[in-house]
Amino acid sequence: MKLPKPTVSLAALVAANLVPLVGVLWFGWDATMIVLLYWAENIVIGAYNILRMALVKVDHPAAHLGKLFVIPFFCIHFGGFCAVHGFFLLALFGLGTEAESLMSGGSWPGPLVFVQLLAAVIAQVWRNHPEGMGWLVACLAVSHGISFVQNYLVRGERAATSMGKEMGRPYKRIAILHITIIAGAAPIMMLGSPVPLLCILVLLKTYMDVRLHVKSHKAKT
């Protein structure tokens, strides 16, 4: 891969992606905890994508009314996607996914059940979260925030996109990253999560993230 042009957002991305090494080297994290951290990053990505959609530049003020439908739809659709993904990870790692415990108190009406499931999965992940995970998620949130400000607001990506593009934007990135991460984590778990292999997993995710970041912002970087 040709070395990308250095930018503040790219530097923040690399720094945030290397932070999980702290969890591996100092807090004794295993492959389970690394994958849960990267799942939590999906929620951060989704939150920033809502901001991107809300700030998409439109030709007529009336076009903002369409956002009142598209953004809630995205919340339900992406929320359901993350909820099912998280539910699968909880089951894979044996962290408790009994439907009656996750969805206690009755189901929310209609498609809102997906938002309810996401909230339940987040709560279950939090109950099992490792030491230091909170501030590591915060570091990833800051990294994505820097990219949002620099690329989307300052460099004007919001004027060159659309609601349709933003609606589908997070899915491809998440699918590519997590197929790679889970494929790498499975054999590492079988070997007892040795530290050198966990470090390689973090570096692999960092490399993939950089490639996707450069590809996504190549017109602006």
Domain assignment present for 34: yes
Statement: residue 105 has pLDDT above 90 = no
5 neighbors 221 (Cβ within 8 angstroms):
yes
Q: Which residues are CB-neighbours of 98 under 8 A, at least 6 positions away?
A: none
Nearest to 90 by CA among 66, 126, 60: 126
Domain assignment present for 6: no
Nearest to 141 by CA among 42, 50, 213, 71: 42
Statement: residue 76 has pLDDT above 70 = yes
Domain assignment present for 2: no
Record the tokens describing residue 162, joined without a space.
């659309």
144 neighbors 52 (Cβ within 8 angstroms):
no
Domain assignment present for 5: no
Domain assignment present for 72: yes
CA separation, residue 133 to residues 19, 28, 33, 38, 140 (Å):
10, 12, 8, 10, 11
Q: What is the mean pLDDT of residues 42-57?
A: 94
Record the tokens describing residue 26, joined without a space.
């100092």
Statement: residue 34 has pLDDT above 80 = yes
Record the tokens describing residue 209, joined without a space.
């993230």
Q: Residue 5, CB half-sphere, CA atoms under 13 Å: how many?
A: 7
Residue 131: its pLDDT value, please? 73
Domain assignment present for 64: yes
Residue 48: its pLDDT value, please? 96
Least confidently predicted of 90-94, 97-101, 180-184 = 97-101
pTM here?
A: 0.85
Nearest to 108 by CA among 143, 144, 75: 75
Residue 96: its pLDDT value, please? 66
Residue 100: its pLDDT value, please? 46
* Nearest-angstrom CA–CA distance, 143 and 10: 9
Task: Give the range of the structural domain holding residue 20, as residue numbers without chain letter.
Answer: 16-216
Domain assignment present for 79: yes
* Nearest-angstrom CA–CA distance, 139 and 19: 8
Residue 211: its pLDDT value, please? 85
pLDDT-based confidence at 218, cuts 50/70/90? low
Amino acid at 59: D
* Nearest-angstrom CA–CA distance, 159 and 28: 44
Residue 99: its pLDDT value, please? 47
* Nearest-angstrom CA–CA distance, 127 and 121: 10
Record the tokens describing residue 37, joined without a space.
């951290």
Domain assignment present for 159: yes
User: What total of structural domains would you count in the chain?
Assistant: 1
196-214 confidence digits (pLDDT tens) = 888 888 888 888 888 888 8
Statement: residue 58 has pLDDT above 80 = yes
